Amino acid sequence: MCASEVASSEHYQACHSCDWLVQIPSLAEGEAACCPRCGQPIASRPRFAQQRPLVYALTSLIMLLCANLLPFLSVSTQGLGNKILLYQAATTLFSEDYASLGMLIYLVMQLLPLCCLLLLGYVMLRLRWHGPLDLSRLALRWLFWLQPWGMVEVFMLGTLVSLIKIAALAEVQVGSGFWCYVAFSLAYLKSFMHLDRNRLWQQLVGPVPLQVEPIAPCSARELDLALCHLCHATVPLDRGYCPRCQSRLHARQPQSLQRCFALLLAAIILYVPANALPMMVTETLGSVMNSTILQGVVVLWKMGDYPVAMVIFFASIMIPIAKILALLWLCYSTHSGNPTHRRGRTRLYHLTEFVGRWSMVDVFVVAVLAALIRMGKLMSIYPGDAAVAFAGVVLITMLSAMAFDSRLIWDLPPSTVRKPE
């Protein structure tokens, strides 16, 4: 960088995982830059970054419309049958006094992804044709707030597991709406694979001047700089607010460990009824059978559906427990100022952040089965009381992971900080 240039968030980027200030090299299309301290990716330049997201977003919107209008799944046995459209996988629960669960499923499988696609499409069009900057900034803020809560791929896995479970009970047929939702899921995921948050904000609003030229490798906090978690700009901390996205600035998330631990405690409390109460209620010829999560896994295993049983076991039992234990250990080791294995703990944190959403697969399985298996006294399936509690466990552990600030892992413990002479 020439001496006449002003240091900005375009040239330097604070790592969102460890707060290390990195000078960003000139990236070619398809290249990415990683933090030299923790190894996490901090910047990228995707190929066709202005064309592909818009194309995939438009494709996703078309496929989602078709998936809701065309037959999704149908089932028949002994002369009785039922068929559903995509949206009925959630709305059927409204009539069974599970309005809260139905609304949650509808939000994460359709409504929130739809909002993200519309916001993404507006922002990408705004980059081509100028529009109101304040409205574009608001759209981009909401886009990155809502994006983590769309669970399109998890619902797709839940539907596939449901098909395997139904095949043992009745004849099932896959409609064209199902294949449209498969195409929607793939296009939706591709829409966000070609986005770099910092670069997108730079294209929309521009870089942020740093007011200081870093002269040695150090953390952003040592230079009174802060990373904006919403737009990933590196901003002078004394500003108070990010000039690019108007978010409040903090050197570290306030009371990160306390909020993370409190949410984990709430998840642990909910995890007890989620496993003790029935997850699914099956009514067959007047007899009612309640099954917990573990009992459902055992039934699948005895029926010979070993892969499905393993998926449910790991997603619904192992992953929630492992995530809670991992976050508890991260909170303890960070609070105690443990300086060892920082890279490993950072990777563990990002792993727990990634896998947490996949525990919702069992809730989606129950929702699809409850909507599809409606044959009166012959056979009907209903969600159990554990479904709401287990959905709460998944959402609260996701919030807990978001509350944890991984940069605290890399902060020096109090015993190693030099006192001024």
The yes-or-no verdict on residue 380 having pLDDT over 60 is yes
pLDDT number for residue 392 = 93
Q: What is the pLDDT of residues 318-343, one digit of tens each?
A: 999 999 999 999 999 999 888 888 99
Q: Are the C-beta atoms of residues 328 and 257 closer than 8 Å to each other?
A: no
Q: Give the residue, 110 or 195, on which the prediction is more confident.
A: 110
Q: Which two tokens stand for residue 302?
A: 């005895």
pLDDT at 323: 94
Output the pLDDT for position 216. Answer: 61
Q: Higher confidence at residue 111 or residue 76?
A: 111
Residue 420, both tokens: 């001024």
413 versus 146: which is more confidently predicted? 146
Going by pLDDT thresholds of 50, 70 and 90, the confidence category of residue 418 is very low
The pLDDT score that the predictor gives to residue 7 is: 58
Give 127's pLDDT tier (boundaries 50, 70, 90). Answer: confident
Query: What would the mean pLDDT of 173-187 be, rounded to a whole number?
Result: 94
pLDDT over 70 percentage in the chain: 92
φ, ψ of residue 18 in degrees (nearest 5): -130, -5
In percent, how much of the chain has pLDDT > 90? Answer: 35
Residue 413 confidence (pLDDT): 59
- Give the residue-averaged pLDDT of 33-41: 89
Higher pLDDT, 165 or 344: 344
pLDDT at res. 414: 46
Most confident of 256-260, 307-311, 354-358: 256-260
Query: Would you kindly state where each structural domain of the chain is located, as residue ranges?
Result: 12-45+206-244, 254-410
In the predicted structure, residue 107 carries a pLDDT above the cut 90: yes
- Per-residue pLDDT, averaged over 83-90, amounts to 89
Q: Is the pLDDT of residue 250 over 80?
A: yes
- Is residue 415 predicted with pLDDT exceeding 80? no
Q: Tell me if 52 sits within 8 A of 194, measured CB to CB.
A: yes
> Is the pLDDT at 27 greater than 60, yes or no?
yes
pLDDT tens-place string over residues 199-231? 888 888 877 777 666 666 788 888 888 888 888
> Token pair of 127, please?
């980059």
Higher pLDDT, 416 or 275: 275
User: Average of pLDDT values for 102-112?
Assistant: 92
Separation between Cα atoms, residue 405 and residue 421, nearest integer Å: 31
Average pLDDT in the 237-259 region? Answer: 88
Between 287 and 255, name the one with better pLDDT. Answer: 255
Predicted confidence (pLDDT) at residue 116 exceeds the cutoff of 70: yes
- Between residues 298 and 259, which one has the greater pLDDT? 259
pLDDT digits (tens, 9 = 90+) for 280-305: 888 877 778 888 888 888 887 887 77
Q: What is the mean pLDDT of the chain?
A: 85
pLDDT of amino acid 267? 95
Q: What is the mean pLDDT of residues 52-79?
A: 90
Give the pLDDT score at 417.
Answer: 40
pLDDT at 50 over 80: no
Architecture of domain 254-410: Up-down Bundle (1.20)
pLDDT of the residue at 327:
95
Q: Check residue 212 and give its pLDDT.
A: 65
Q: Which of 45-54, 102-111, 188-197, 322-331 has the lowest mean pLDDT?
A: 45-54
pLDDT at residue 4, as a whole number: 38
